[in-house]
Amino acid sequence: KAGDSCGARIRVTASNVPIGLGEPLFDKMDSDIAYAMMGINAVKGVEIGAGFASVTQRGTVHGDSITPQGFATNNSGGMLGGITTGQDLEVSIAVKPTSSIISPRQSIDVHNQPVEVVTKGRHDPCVGIRATPIAEAMLALVVMEHALRHRAQNADVGREDRRRRAVEEGTSSEVEGPQSSFL
CA distances for 96 relative to 18, 43, 100, 126, angstroms = 32, 6, 12, 8
Four-residue CA torsion sign, 67, 70, 71, 72? negative
d(CA 133, CA 11): 11
Domains of the chain: 8-167 (3.60.150.10)
Render each residue's pLDDT in the chain as its tens digit; 183 residues: 677 889 999 999 999 999 999 999 999 999 999 999 999 999 999 999 999 988 898 888 888 889 899 899 999 999 999 999 999 999 999 999 988 888 888 999 999 999 998 888 777 888 899 999 999 999 999 999 999 999 888 877 666 666 777 777 776 655 554 444 443
Beta bridge partners of residue 107, listed in sequence order: 115
